[in-house]
């Protein structure tokens, strides 16, 4: 079991260092971050920004 785990970890580390995989991961991260930013801005624009702890001035 330990040999299998070591082999899988080594394979995953080698895949991670592949330049194509790194570019893909960076691109996916950028796209996901952009989509989240757009969704957050739409939510804030529609419902406004309300502090979760409810302190009123």
Within a domain: 37? yes
Within a domain: 35? yes
Token look-up 């995953």 returns: 12
- The mean per-residue pLDDT over the stretch 35-55 comes to 87
Within a domain: 36? yes
| Widest Cα–Cα separation across the chain | 61
- What secondary structure letter does DSSP report for 53? T
How far apart (Å, rounded) are the C-alpha atoms in residues 29 and 18? 16
- The mean per-residue pLDDT over the stretch 37-44 comes to 95
Within a domain: 55? no
Half-sphere exposure (CA, 13 Å, Cβ side) for 29?
Answer: 6
Within a domain: 39? yes
> Domain total for the chain?
1
Which pLDDT belongs to residue 56? 67
20-39 tens-digit pLDDT:
988 999 999 999 999 999 99
Asked if pLDDT for residue 54 goes beyond 80, the answer is no
User: Residue 21 sits in which domain range?
Assistant: 2-47
Name the pTM for this structure: 0.62
In 1-57, where does DSSP find H-type helix? 2-17, 19-47
Asked if pLDDT for residue 57 goes beyond 80, the answer is no
Within a domain: 18? yes
């Amino acid at each position: 079991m330990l040999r299998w785990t070591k082999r899988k970890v080594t394979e995953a580390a080698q895949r991670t260092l592949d330049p194509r995989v790194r570019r893909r991961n960076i691109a996916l991260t950028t796209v996901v971050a952009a989509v989240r930013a757009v969704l957050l801005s739409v939510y804030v624009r529609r419902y406004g920004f309300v502090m979760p702890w409810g302190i009123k001035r």
